[in-house]
Structure 1
Amino acid sequence: MNADWPDAAVVIAAYEEADSIGRTLDSLDGQEAEVIVVVGGDDDTAAIAEGHDAVDRILEDEAEDGPSAARNQGARAATAEVVCFTDADTVVPNHWVAKHRRHYTDAAVAGVGGPLRPQGDSTKHRLLFKILSDYWYRAAWPVGFVQQSGNNCSYRRTAFLEAGGFDEEIPFMEDTELSLRMKRFGRVVYDKDCPVYTSTRRQTDQGYVGLFLTYARGYLDYFVLNRRPDDGYFK
């Protein structure tokens, strides 16, 4: 690994993810980063994390007030220069951490994001993820609408903390909101060759049309009408 790259930590917010967190941790095993799991709920998530070789630290989710609060707690506990975030229903490829780290040799870079790909072999999911979680990002980022997904993003830790981290008061779109806010601290890079593979459970439960309309309403409320999203977006 390039010794000139800054060191990194990976923060995983895990609320009752016993069924999936083992696969997430397997994918991080051997990658050069401190792995911090912030655990909430009362299932076996903590026990699985405690027994996994990839994990360096386990924190009890102090607030149990959603992923933003858990991610912020993990980032505050980290000491590395770069903090990467992924979710407990997501699998990262080999060298995922390294692909994030390499961008931070440029002092102007404050954040890095990449595309999402679905777990499984469904043609429908692969096609729609490619359009909505890759091609859309490639089109939106050059015009300034950066959208780092919370399960595939990283930040320079000092800038992240100075910015206040994820907004814990909004129920969703917190990753996009932070991405846009972080532009004040430096360049936010989209790396099309740095994907993660994530669960399609929300797409299956909500449907792509329903999700699209929900996010369209959220974008309109927050970014156009300056109204903060409330808790009524997802039922």
Structure 2
Amino acid sequence: MPSAADPDVQQANRLFASVIIAVYNDWAPLANCLQSLAAQTKAFSFEVIVVDDGSTHNAPASILEWMQKYRWKILRQPHLGPAAARNHGIRQSVGEILVFTDADCILEDHCFAALGACIAASPSCGYFQLCLAGVRSNLPGKAEDLRLIATQSFLLQPDGCIRYMNTAGFAVRRSCVDVETGLFDERALRAEDSLLLANLMRRNQLPFFVRAAAVRHPINLSVLGVLRRTVRSALLEAPTHAIISTLGIKVLMNHRERFGMLRSIWRISKTKSIGRAAFVLLVARQTLRLLTLTACRILPRRKREENVVGNLGQV
């Protein structure tokens, strides 16, 4: 049976979806991501657009082979950040549904089948959050899985929508997007999905949570590497949260919600396949993130801008 990624299937049917992946030097994990896209079963027809956000080295031959085999596109731009890269991909796309994932993510085989069924059953819904999960192969992976399970469960609303957005697994109807302007605010060097969520919340819109459409996010870093990346990410997120604060919308959890989330994380961490060590690492990660965001609010504006510029090359 031909795959939905097969170019002949794509040519015979109008493309239903465009999958957009922003890449900055993370070519190695992208191969696994592309393999998982090619393996989608009973899925809608789709194209894949990889946007190279000014990587310092070119895509290896193995990636180019994937792109050529399925006639997928690879675009290049200066290093402007993931928001600009995704908007570039949107402008070059043709699908009725725009799907976003990250280079280091792996989609479960039935992910698109589940997403397609949900989209068909929800004609009035424009935005869809896929179910994210970690890979419990190491302690950082267990902590990531714990974070995602707790976050998605805690922020899920009674109507099936979710007060959460993560472009590691996110879809939107093309009709909801101004293609020329783009979907993402390019001022955001990181946390552009949080800024988009804030704008949706202003319009009383939330993405619908598609639990059966699973995307896994492996973490192949040491504990120290994870903590360092947490601080770098928070430094880049801080200006975005400053923009969000001007909208009068609270995307970050308040103290009461954080306490409730902490209890939820503690409860889930008793699972043997996750464990209390993952709880400790996750609390350390979240504490570092909050401390960094708080420090960025206190630091003089000029110093914050120097930090952001210094970290842009590490996005």
Aligned residue in 1 for 2:169: 152
Q: 1:48 to 1:188 in 2, by over 3 A?
A: same
Correspondence for 1:51? 65
TM-score (ref. length: structure 2): 0.61
Question: How far has the Cα of 1:103 moved from its partner?
Answer: 2.2
Matched, 1:142 2:157: yes
**Per-residue deviation, residues 20-55 of structure 1 (Å, max 9, x unmatched):** 211111111143421111124243426333211664
1:38 to 2:51 alignment: yes
Counterpart of 2:130 (choices 104, 114, 122) is 114
Q: Secondary structure at the match of 2:195?
A: helix
Larger mean Cα displacement after TM superposition, 107-116 or 174-183: 174-183
Q: Which residue in 2 is equivalent to 1:197?
A: 216
1:65 paired residue among 74, 77, 80: 80
1:231 Cα offset (Å): 7.1
| Aligned-residue offset at 1:218 | 6.8
Q: Superposition pairs for residues 78-227 of structure 1, below 5 Å?
A: 78-105=93-120, 106-119=122-135, 121-123=137-139, 125-126=141-142, 128-142=143-157, 146-161=163-178, 164-182=182-200, 184=203, 187-200=206-219, 204=223, 205-207=225-227, 210=230, 214=234, 221-224=242-245
Cα deviation, residue 56, structure 1: 3.0
- For structure 1, list consecutive stretches of 5 or more residues without a partner in the other structure: none
- The one-letter amino acid paired with 2:51 is V
| Larger Rg belongs to | 2
Given that 1:160 and 1:182 are in contact with CA atoms closer than 8 Å, whether structure 2 keeps it comes out as no
Q: Contact 1:110–1:182 at 8 Å: present in 2 too?
A: no
- Aligned-pair identity in percent equals 20
Q: Give the Cα–Cα distance (whole angstroms) in 1 for the partners of residues 243 and 172 of structure 2.
A: 23
- Number of aligned residue pairs: give it: 230
Gaps of 5+ in 2: 5-14, 248-296
Alpha-carbon deviation of 1:15?
A: 1.8
Answer whether contact 1:9 1:78 (CA < 8 A) is retained: yes
Quick check: which one's helix share is greater?
2
Contact 2:49 2:75 in 1 (8 A): no
Whole-angstrom distance in 1 between the partners of 2:229 and 2:83: 25
For 1:36-84, what per-residue CA distance to the aligned partner results, in whole angstroms no more than 9, with x for missing partners? 1112424342633321166433233223211111111111211111011
